[in-house]
Amino acid sequence: MATVSNPIPTPLFPYSPIPLYNPLMKVAIIFGSQSDKPVMKKAADVLREMGVEYSSHVLSAHRVPELLTETLRRLEAEGVEVIIAGAGLAAHLPGVIASQTLVPVIGLPVSSGGLGGLDALLSIVQMPRPIPVATVGIDNGANAAHLACQILALKYPALKDKLTLARLKMKADFERENQGVEL
């Protein structure tokens, strides 16, 4: 008799009877090198502003693949809900992370190197199905964090309220700043 394999992917962290889930909103910011720090800091700044807890990790799919897997297991056990993954050059880090977890991964291409980040952008955005990475613009750390907040807002009404207020403020600022413009 033919056996049918389970179509549901096995979670990275095996089922545990101990409730590991922490109800706080949790984002992990993972990046390939210390040299990516200025771009990743833009994401951290927005998360802090929105009151979202985050942890940051320098890891590399190319340089320390075993440590990457180990850390992902730990983050899942701690209840991470969104991962922001930034890298430059042949940026495989976000895709490799996405291949190892069902936690949504936001890819942030970093412009380190002679190609201005286009290399990283294409490496991150062109993922084969069914392993998507939600990719933001080159060096746009702020947008990576805004998208992370929007994902979390599906579950946390207080964060949704904050985002709604931020949008209202943005519109009011825009109208005020663009009143009576002269050329």
If you ran DSSP here, which 8-state letter would residue 169 be given?
A: H
Contact pattern from residue 53 through residue 92 relative to ligand C2R, giving x for each residue in contact according to CB under 6 A and a dash for the rest: -------xxxx-----------------------xxxxxx
92 or 146, CB closer to ligand C2R? 92
- Residues paired with 82 in a beta bridge: 27
Side by side, the strands of the sheet bearing 134-135 are 53-58, 26-31, 82-88, 105-110, 134-135
The 3-class SS string of 78-123 reads CCCCEEEEEEECCCCHHHHHHHCCCCCEEEEEECCCCCCCHHHHHH
**Using CA atoms, how far apart are residues 129 and 111, in angstroms rounded to an integer?**
25
Q: Which two tokens stand for residue 157?
A: 């009404």
Considering the complex, state which of residue 93 and residue 153 has its C-beta at the smaller distance from ligand C2R. Answer: 93
Q: Which are the contacts of 25, defined by CB distance < 8 A and separation ≥ 6?
A: 52, 53, 81, 152, 155, 156, 159
Q: Residue 48 CB, nearest distance to ligand C2R (Å)? A: 22
User: Is there binding between residue 27 and ligand C2R (CB under 6 A)?
Assistant: no
Q: Which is nearer to ligand C2R, 90 or 163 (CB)?
A: 90
Binding status of residue 39 toward ligand C2R by CB under 6 A: no
Judged by CB under 6 A, the stretch of 32-40, 100-108, 133-141, 164-172 that binds ligand C2R is 32-40
Out of 11, 22, 24, 35, the only residue in the binding site for ligand C2R (CB under 6 A) is 35
State the nearest-atom distance from the C-beta of 87 to ligand C2R, in Å: 4
Site string for ligand C2R, 98-127 (x = CB under 6 A): ------------x-x---------------
Q: Is 44 in the site for ligand C2R (CB under 6 A)?
A: no
Position closest to ligand C2R via CB = 32
Beta carbons of 12 and 72 less than 8 angstroms apart? yes
Interacting residue ranges for ligand C2R, rule: CB under 6 A: 31-33, 35-36, 60-63, 87-93, 110, 112
